[in-house]
Amino acid sequence: MSYGRYVAFRAIMLGAFFLLRSRKEGSAFMSLDLATTRRIAKLARIGLEEHELEAARQKLNGILGWIDQLAEVDVEGVPPMVGTETETLRQREDKVTDGNYRDALLACAPETSGPFYTVPKVVE
């Protein structure tokens, strides 16, 4: 399986995790079979050859196992971490300027007339 396909599989795994896993509190995740792996690939619109399905199944099961380990972590009483949505970038005051590039830009033109570009007449 190519790296691009592998990245796409990882991107859909969280959705597939909740879609395909009927987890009750304390139960382990279900292991994906080839039919389920084929279904996930079809839903993600990823064309997998038959010889690629077993490797994809093993990788997906590994990812599900990792997610299951994360679900077992006790976070009771742990305050949430700071997210990027609460942080703002320093903003500078907007100042309208011409950029002081007029002479440099006019120097690139094939023909000018004072501070203007001269172009051939198009409409008679």
34 found inside a domain: yes
Distance CA 2, CA 52 (A): 10
Element (H, E) at 113: strand 112-113
Dump pLDDT digits (tens) for 74-92.
878 877 775 656 667 788 8
Q: Is the pLDDT of residue 122 over 60?
A: yes
Least confident among 1-10, 52-61, 74-83, 106-115: 1-10
Domains in the chain, number: 1
Q: Considering the domain boundaries, does residue 106 fall inside one? A: no
Q: Is residue 28 situated within a structural domain?
A: yes
> Would residue 97 count as lying in a domain?
no
Instruction: Tell me what the mean pLDDT of segment 24-37 comes to.
Output: 70
Domain of 7?
3-71
Among residues of the chain, what percentage have pLDDT more than 90?
10
Residue 82 lies in a domain: no
Would you say residue 93 lies in a domain?
no
Q: Is 69 helix (H, G, I), strand (E, B) or coil?
A: helix
